[in-house]
C-alpha cells in the first residue's frame, strides 16, 4: 500500500484528472482570444480554435515559409493552408465525429507540432499535437459532477534491467480516504513508440474510468500503465517469431518487478480474479503473452488491435490451448478489438482462426477505422465494464 513516506526510489506526483486537460485546447473557446489586449508575453496566434458545430481553425505563424500543409487523423492526406498578410497560415474545416485526433503541420516539407497547442502526443519519436473535440456524450470528456481520480507518476527500480523505469498509476476517487479497502487492478500497456503516458494523455484512461465508475457501469479499480519498450529486444515485427522474445522479456518485467512493486505500494487485491492485463498494438501482444504465460495470475486479457502468431502460440502455449475445456475455464474473458482498416487486422484474424480450430472461446469487437488511438479509446471503454463490472444505481450488476 502507499506508504506515509514514499521511498527515495519513488517519485509520486498525484494529478487530479479534471485539472490535467482543458475542455479541448488553448483558445478553443470560440473566439480565439479576440477582443483582448495582448501583452508581450502572449502568443499572438491561438490554435486550434473550435466553433459550434465542429468547425475548427488551425493557425501557424511562419512568415518565411513557402508552403504549409495540415496533416491529421481526422482526414485523408494533407490539406494546404493559406498565408495571410500577417504571415499567419490558416485553414478552417468541419471535423466529425467528435474525438481526440493527432495532427501536425508540414512546413516546407518538415513536419512540426503546433507551437500554440500545449497538448501533445507522448511518443518516443515525433510528438504530434492533439485536437480534443468537445462532446457532452464522449467518455473522454471530464464532467464537473463526476468525482475525479488521480494519476500518479512513479519511478521504480528494475533489478532485472538494472535501471529506473517510469510507471503511471490511476487511483479512483476516494482512494486515499478509503484506507483498508483493496481494489482490483488492470495492467494497461500502450503500443509501439508510445510511452507510459500515452494511455493517460491520449487514451484518457483516467477520465473514461471516472465516468464509467460514476455511472455504475464499472467497479472502482486501479489502472497501472507501464512503459512497454524493452531495450534488449527493441521492437520486432509482430509477425516475426522474434517478437515472442520481446514479449517474454516484458512478461518477466511485469510479473517480477512491476506487480510486486504495485502490490507492495498500493492497496490492490492479489487474487487472479481481480487482476487483468490489456494493451494496444505492441502492448496488446505483450498482454496476450503475459496472460497466457501466467493463467495463475490473470483471469482476463484484452487485445486491442493485437495478436500472437500461430507459430508463437504453438511454440509457447501448445499445452495450454491443447485442452480447450481447460483453457476456456481458466480465462473468463479473452477479448479482441480491431478496425476494418487496421493494418494488423490480418494478424488478428489469423490468431482468431487458430482459436477457432482449437475450440477456444473469445469475444470479438469489430469496428471501422484503422490502427488509431480513436479506436483504442473505444476498446478501453468497451472492456472496462467487462473486466470489472460495476453496479447500476438500482443495484443490478452491469454486464455490457
Q: pLDDT tens digits for 309-364?
A: 999 999 999 999 999 999 999 999 999 999 999 999 999 999 999 999 999 999 99
| CB environment 157-190: b (16+ within 10 A), e (fewer) | eeeeeeeebebbbbbbbebeeeeeeebbbbbbbb
**Residue 304 forms beta bridges with which residues?**
280, 337
- pLDDT, residue 240, reads 86
Query: Which residues, other chains included, contact 204 with Cβ-Cβ below 8 Å and sequence gap of 6+?
Result: 21, 100, 139, 140, 377
Q: Which of 17, 47, 63, 61 is nearest to 130 (CA)?
A: 47
SS3 132: strand
- pLDDT, residue 114, reads 97
**Residue bearing the bigger pLDDT, 248 or 18:** 248
Distances (CA, A) of 331 to 31, 69, 253, 290: 52, 48, 22, 13
Q: What is the pLDDT of residues 229-252, one digit of tens each?
A: 998 888 888 988 889 999 999 999
pTM to 2 decimal places: 0.89
Note whether 149 and 171 are within 8 A (CB): yes
Query: Which residues, other chains included, contact 165 with Cβ-Cβ below 8 Å and sequence gap of 6+?
Result: 155, 156, 157, 158, 226, 227, 253, 257
What class has domain 28-130?
mainly beta
Note whether 73 and 175 are within 8 A (CB): no
**pLDDT class for 23, splitting at 50, 70, 90?**
very low
For residue 25, the 8-state DSSP code is S
Separation of alpha carbons 322 and 132, rounded Å: 46
What are the cell numbers at 122?
A: 507522448
Tally of CA atoms within 13 A in the half-sphere of 86 that contains its CB: 8
- Give the chain's mean pLDDT: 89
Domain parsing of the chain, residue ranges = 28-130, 150-387
What class has domain 150-387?
alpha beta
What are the cell numbers at 162?
A: 538494472
**Residue 165 forms beta bridges with which residues?**
156
Amino acid at each position: 500500500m502507499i506508504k506515509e513516506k514514499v521511498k527515495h526510489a519513488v517519485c509520486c506526483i498525484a494529478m487530479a484528472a479534471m485539472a490535467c486537460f482543458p475542455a479541448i485546447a488553448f483558445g478553443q473557446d470560440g473566439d480565439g482570444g479576440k477582443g483582448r489586449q495582448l501583452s508581450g508575453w502572449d502568443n499572438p496566434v491561438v490554435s486550434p480554435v473550435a466553433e459550434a458545430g465542429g468547425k475548427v481553425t488551425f493557425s501557424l505563424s511562419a512568415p518565411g515559409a513557402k508552403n504549409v500543409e495540415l496533416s491529421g487523423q481526422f482526414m485523408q492526406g494533407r490539406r494546404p493552408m493559406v498565408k495571410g498578410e500577417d504571415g499567419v497560415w490558416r485553414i478552417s474545416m468541419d471535423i466529425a465525429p467528435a474525438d481526440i485526433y493527432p495532427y501536425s503541420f508540414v512546413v516546407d516539407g518538415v513536419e512540426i507540432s503546433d507551437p500554440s497547442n500545449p497538448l501533445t502526443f507522448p511518443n518516443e519519436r515525433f510528438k504530434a499535437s492533439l485536437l480534443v473535440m468537445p462532446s457532452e456524450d464522449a467518455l473522454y470528456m471530464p464532467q464537473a459532477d463526476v468525482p475525479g481520480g488521480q494519476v500518479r507518476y512513479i519511478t521504480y527500480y528494475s533489478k532485472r534491467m538494472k535501471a529506473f523505469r517510469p510507471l503511471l498509476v490511476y487511483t479512483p476517487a476516494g482512494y486515499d480516504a478509503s484506507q483498508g479497502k483493496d481494489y482490483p487492478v488492470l495492467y494497461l500497456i500502450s503500443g509501439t513508440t508510445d510511452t507510459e503516458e500515452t494511455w493517460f494523455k491520449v487514451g484518457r484512461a483516467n477520465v473514461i474510468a471516472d465516468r464509467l465508475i460514476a455511472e455504475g457501469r464499472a467497479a472502482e479499480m486501479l489502472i497501472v500503465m507501464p512503459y512497454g519498450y524493452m531495450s534488449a529486444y527493441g521492437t520486432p515485427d509482430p509477425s516475426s517469431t522474434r517478437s515472442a522474445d520481446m514479449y517474454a522479456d516484458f512478461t518477466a518485467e511485469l510479473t517480477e518487478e512491476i506487480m510486486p512493486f504495485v502490490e507492495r505500494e498500493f492497496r490492490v487485491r492479489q487474487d487472479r480474479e481481480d487482476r487483468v492485463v490489456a494493451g494496444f498494438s505492441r502492448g496488446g501482444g505483450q498482454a496476450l503473452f503475459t496472460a497466457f504465460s501466467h493463467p495463475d495470475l490473470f483471469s482476463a486479457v484484452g487485445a486491442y488491435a493485437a495478436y500472437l502468431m500461430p507459430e508463437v502460440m504453438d511454440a509457447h502455449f501448445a499445452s495450454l490451448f491443447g485442452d480447450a475445456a481447460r483453457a476456456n475455464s481458466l480465462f473468463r474473458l479473452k477479448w479482441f478489438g480491431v478496425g476494418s482498416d487496421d493494418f494488423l487486422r490480418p494478424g488478428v484474424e489469423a490468431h482468431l482462426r487458430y482459436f477457432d480450430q482449437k475450440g477456444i472461446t473469445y469475444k470479438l469487437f469489430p469496428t471501422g477505422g484503422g490502427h488509431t488511438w480513436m479506436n483504442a479509446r473505444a476498446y478501453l471503454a468497451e472492456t472496462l465494464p467487462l473486466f470489472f463490472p460495476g453496479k447500476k444505481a438500482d443495484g443490478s450488476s452491469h454486464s455490457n
